[in-house]
Amino acid sequence: MKRLLYLLPLLLFMVLAGYFVISLRPNHDIHELPSAMIEKPAPAFDLAGLGDSKPLDLDALKGHPFIINFFASWCVPCRVEHPLLMRLAGQNHLPLYGIAYKDKPADSTRLLATFGDPYRSVGIDQDGRVGLNFGVYGVPETYVIDSTGVIRRRFVGPLTAETVEKDLLPLLKQLGQS
């Protein structure tokens, strides 16, 4: 019995190692998440605009492909992603719209005032209702929506320069042409 007690640390570690093995399994990309929303029409939203922004209305955005980025001032990965968004907005003139997810408008304003505002306009989703409809797990999340309002791609976590170059920009280009 006493011996079992001494075996306990090893057993616990083996369980832990098992979890580590699972999370390293091949073809398991932690950034890729299945979503029931892919290839489905984006849930409708009509959000109040942040500060001077116009209201963010899904119907008004249709007609061209666009990108929705869920962010929040309390989110550290968003800050990691931010310089990239600034560059995309500045250099590539992407149709990037922001939704401030579960964030006080004053805090969102402060974030954008400090680090720059990459968005064409920003909608306030303070109670997280729109995020819930989209199935947002956590911020930042980025959705590519085509001109008919159908969600084509979802990026969970901060965008990286690599995913933008290899994935997001080609997709947008393709959507813009068709």
Partner 1 sequence: MITELGHFALILALFVAIIQSTIPLIGASRRHVGWMAVGRSCALTGFALTALAMLSLMHAYVVSDFSVINVVQNSHTDKPLLYKITGVWGNHEGSMLLWVFMLSLCAAAVALFSDNLPPALRARVLAVQGMIGVGFLLFILLTSNPFLRTFPPPANGNGLNPVLQDPGLAFHPPFLYLGYVGFSVAFAFAVAALIEGRVDAAWARWVRPWTLASWCALTIGIAMGSWWAYYTLGWGGWWFWDPVENASFMPWLVGTALIHSSIVVEKRDTLKSWTILLAIITFSLSLVGTFLVRSGVLTSVHAFATDPERGTFILLLLIAAIGGSLALYAIRAPALKGGGLFAPISREGSLVLNNVLLSCGCATVFLGTLYPLFLDAVGGPKLSVGFPFFNRTFAPMMVPMVIAVGIGPMLAWKRGDILGAMQRLWVAYIVTGLVLLGAFYVTYGGPVLATLGLGLAAWLTAAVATEFAERIRLFRVPAGESIRRAIHLPRSAYGMTLAHFGLAVSVAGFAASAYDKEAIEVLKPGGTIAIAGYELTLESVSRIPGPNYVADDAAIRVASGGQLIKVMHPERRFFPLQQQTTSETSIRTNFLTDLYVALGESDTAGNWTVRVYWKPLVPWIWIGCVIMAFGGAVSLSDRRWRVGAAARSVRRPIAEPVPAAGE
The half-sphere exposure of 60 on its side-chain side, counting CA atoms within 13 A, is 10
List the structure tokens of 70: 């869920």
Nearer to partner 1, 81 or 125 (CB): 81
Contact 28, 113 (CB under 8 A): no
Residue 33 beta carbon to partner 1: minimum distance, rounded to whole angstroms:
6
Nearer to partner 1, 66 or 119 (CB): 119
Residue 152 beta carbon to partner 1: minimum distance, rounded to whole angstroms:
21
- Longest distance between any two alpha carbons in the chain, whole Å: 71
How far is the C-alpha of 73 from the C-alpha of 134, rounded, in Å? 19
Please state whether the peptide bond connecting residue 118 to the residue before it is cis, i.e. omega within 30 degrees of 0.
Answer: no
Nearer to partner 1, 110 or 173 (CB): 110
Contact 98, 159 (CB under 8 A): no
Q: Which residues bind partner 1 (CB under 8 A)?
A: 2-3, 6-7, 9-10, 13-14, 16-17, 19-24, 26, 30-31, 33, 76-77, 79-80, 83, 87, 110, 113-117, 137-138, 156-158
Nearer to partner 1, 33 or 48 (CB): 33
Nearer to partner 1, 122 or 175 (CB): 122
**What does the chain come to in residues?**
178
Residue 58 beta carbon to partner 1: minimum distance, rounded to whole angstroms:
25
Residue 115 beta carbon to partner 1: minimum distance, rounded to whole angstroms:
7
Residue 15 beta carbon to partner 1: minimum distance, rounded to whole angstroms:
10
How far is the C-alpha of 83 from the C-alpha of 118, rounded, in Å? 9
